[in-house]
Amino acid sequence: MNTEEFQARARVMKALSSPVRLMIVDELSRGERCMCELQPMFPMNKSTLSRHVTALKNVGIVSERRKGARCFLKLETPCILNVFECTMGVIRAEAKRHAKLAK
């Protein structure tokens, strides 16, 4: 089996391994947004936000469309959203397990 393939997968997962970036993806799942729209939603330095977006662009999850000074972001691979359903399954199962242990 190909090692590079696993590394490529890992890079994609890594890009999604931050709450902030997941929130960005969630926001973009509801439509195109520009950086200036995202900034008020995230209580952080704009350069930090820009870097998070860049991380998502780097692995191809998000694409940009420039319009003058603005830069509209779009979710390039919406199947990412299915991933979240699965993760929620993992999380729910885990919560159930913890509840059992607590008994």
Partner DNA sequence: CTACTATAGCGCATTGTTGCGCAACTCTGC
Partner DNA sequence: GCAGAGTTGCGCAACAATGCGCTATAGTAG
Residue 80-99 contact track with its own copies, rule CB under 8 A, x = bound: x-xxxxxxxxxx-xx--x--
Residues in contact with 5: Cβ distance below 8 Å, sequence separation at least 6, in sequence order: none
Contact 32, 62 (CB under 8 A): no
Residue 51's binding partner out of its own copies, DNA, none, with CB under 5 to 8 Å set by partner kind: DNA
Residue 29's binding partner out of its own copies, DNA, none, with CB under 5 to 8 Å set by partner kind: none
Residues in contact with 57: Cβ distance below 8 Å, sequence separation at least 6, in sequence order: 63, 64
For strand 70-75 and strand 62-67, is the pairing parallel, antiparallel, or unpaired? antiparallel
Residue 18 has phi, psi (to 5 degrees) of -125, 135
Under the criterion CB under 8 A, does residue 65 sit at the interface with its own copies? no
Under the criterion CB under 7 A, does residue 24 sit at the interface with DNA? no
Interface with its own copies (CB under 8 A): 1, 3, 5-10, 12-14, 16-19, 21-23, 26, 59-61, 76-77, 79-80, 82-91, 93-94, 97
